[in-house]
Amino acid sequence: MGRAKVFGVIALKGGVGKTTVVSNLGASLARDYGKKVLMIDANFSTPHLGLHLGLLNPKYTLHHVLNDNLSIFEAIYQHELGFHIIPGKLAPFQTAPLDLKNKLEELRDIYDVILIDSSPSLNEEMYATMAASDELLVVSSPDYPTLSSTIHAIRVADKREAKIHGIVINKAYKKKFELSKRDIEGASGSKVLSVIPENFRVLSSLSRMVPMIVNFPRQNVSLEYRRLAGLLVGEKTKRWFSKTKKVTKSKTKKKKTKKNATK
Amino acid sequence: MVIDRFYLSNGDSAGDLRELLSRLRVVDEECFSHHVNKKKNDFANWIKKCVKDKVLAKKIEKLKSKEKIILAIDKRINTPARVKKRIIRKIKEAILDGAS
Ligand SMILES: Nc1ncnc2c1ncn2[C@@H]1O[C@H](COP(=O)(O)OP(=O)(O)O)[C@@H](O)[C@H]1O
Ligand SMILES: [Mg+2]
């Protein structure tokens, strides 16, 4: 176990899907790949990771860790789906950007993967995530305004010498008018790791505060999250269907042998 | 690549198709018919020799009306792919300007 890799999930724009990416990747890494996962809500302006995962008004948050000297271990919540969360709190972000990084050091030996959900604002919150992460995932969508903020985010990260792992394109409708993976890679100079389709069931999952990959494990979005999760930890994609197929096959075989036996 | 400029009889000039298009949109009939008439089509010639776009030159060669020539050039340079490329370039420029 341990020596966690820290991925920061960023975008200089709200509503693109940062929190959805964090909760689904985290859930997949924990459930499909058996990783010890910690998700951290480092977004102090719109701290919504808890609302995606059914953790409402938690008593202890990252805010208390950074500002009130609460031990970071006190702010870790165990989710019934098998991962851990440090929730956020709506509060002014007043600590130095390096504080988050330092606090995470002692957690690295406990977890395999730490995912940080970041603020969309270009301020200390964002810098804290950039400094604390080993690599960044930039969430984007295939339209010009989001491309613009993606290019901007990558530029800011470059300037602060934060490493970009790649881009995750979210809410793709697969329409001709959308920017293609190639357009986005060409314009940003970064690799597109994944294209996640638009799917209203993501919203349905949100209404139940359960990650899409748990709620609708066979949907296109869930398959893609599972693939991306495997990519992040360098493991072969866990295929949802393989197990089910095997089961049905062996069942039918058994029936035949039974029949043969009675004959 | 530096292209020999096209000089219109009204004193305007164009260094590429985009410039030519904007000049053509405001050019008057007198100047236009100086360049496009029964004997010649200066625009087609320039596009062929200097811009080296044979396909467009061939199309324009046969056109005698200003509107049709404008449309042909517009269609040629403003393909969806090129429009996209230009917008992306502008987006990048805006970010470099704003964040430097
Ligand atoms: N692939 C998708 N298809 C449809 N809706 C999505 C998808 N991904 C995210 N959403 C929805 O978009 C909204 C914004 O997502 P969220 O993760 O909260 O964005 P951010 O954290 O970047 O502000 C949420 O309502 C979420 O359910
Ligand atoms: Mg969010």
Return the CATH number at A18. Answer: 3.40.50.300
**Predicted local confidence at residue A108, as pLDDT:** 96
Say if B1 falls within a structural domain: no
Pocket test residue of A116, A137, A143, A203 for ligand 1, highest count of atoms within 8 A of CB? A203
Of the ranges A1-5, A9-13, A84-88, A108-112, which one carries the lowest mean pLDDT score?
A1-5
A179 touches chain B (CB under 8 A): yes
Q: What is the pLDDT of residues A71-120, one digit of tens each?
A: 999 999 999 999 999 999 998 888 887 899 999 999 999 999 999 999 99
Distance (Å) from CA A157 to ligand 2 centroid: 19
Q: Does any domain span residue B72?
A: yes
Q: What is the pLDDT of residues B5-64, one digit of tens each?
A: 999 999 999 999 999 999 999 999 999 999 999 999 999 999 999 999 999 999 999 999
Rounded to whole angstroms, how far apart are CA atoms A188 and A191?
A: 8
In the predicted structure, residue A248 carries a pLDDT above the cut 70: no
Under 8 Å between Cβ of A100 and A55: no
Work out how many domains chain B is built from and give that number. 1
The pLDDT assigned to A245 comes to: 42
From chain B, pick out residues whose CB is under 8 angstroms from the CB of A185.
Answer: none
Structural domain harbouring A178: 5-238
Ligand 1 centroid – CA A15 distance (Å): 6
Residue B35 domain flag:
yes
**Over 90: is that where the pLDDT of A29 sits?**
yes
pLDDT value of position B6: 97
With respect to residue A252, please indicate whether it lies within any of the assigned structural domains: no
Q: Which pLDDT value is given to residue B99?
A: 61
Residue A256 reports pLDDT greater than 80: no
With respect to residue A246, please indicate whether it lies within any of the assigned structural domains: no
Percentage of chain A lying above the pLDDT 70 cut: 90
Three-class SS state of A203: helix
Residue A254 near residue A53 (C-beta atoms within 8 A):
no
Distance CA(A71)–CA(B83), nearest Å, equals: 54
Determine contact: B84 vs chain A, CB below 8 A: yes
Dihedral of alpha carbons A114, A115, A121, A122, sign: positive
The overall average pLDDT reported for chain A is 91
Confirm whether A176 is domain-assigned.
yes
CA separation for the pair A131, A111 (Å, rounded): 19
User: Testing the interface with A: which of B88, B89, B90, B93 to mutate, by most A Cβ within 10 A?
Assistant: B88
Q: Mean pLDDT across the stretch A144-161? A: 97
pTM of the model: 0.84
Sign of the C-alpha dihedral computed for residues A91, A96, A101 and A103 taken in this order: negative
- The answer to whether the Cβ–Cβ distance between B91 and A183 falls below 8 Å is no
Residue ranges making up the domain that contains B62: 6-99
**For residue A218, is it within any domain?**
yes
Considering only CA atoms, which of A63, A1, A93 is closest in space to residue A38? A1
| Cβ separation B87–A179 shorter than 8 A | no
For residue A208, is it within any domain? yes
Domains: count for chain A: 1
CB atoms within 10 A of CB A249: 10
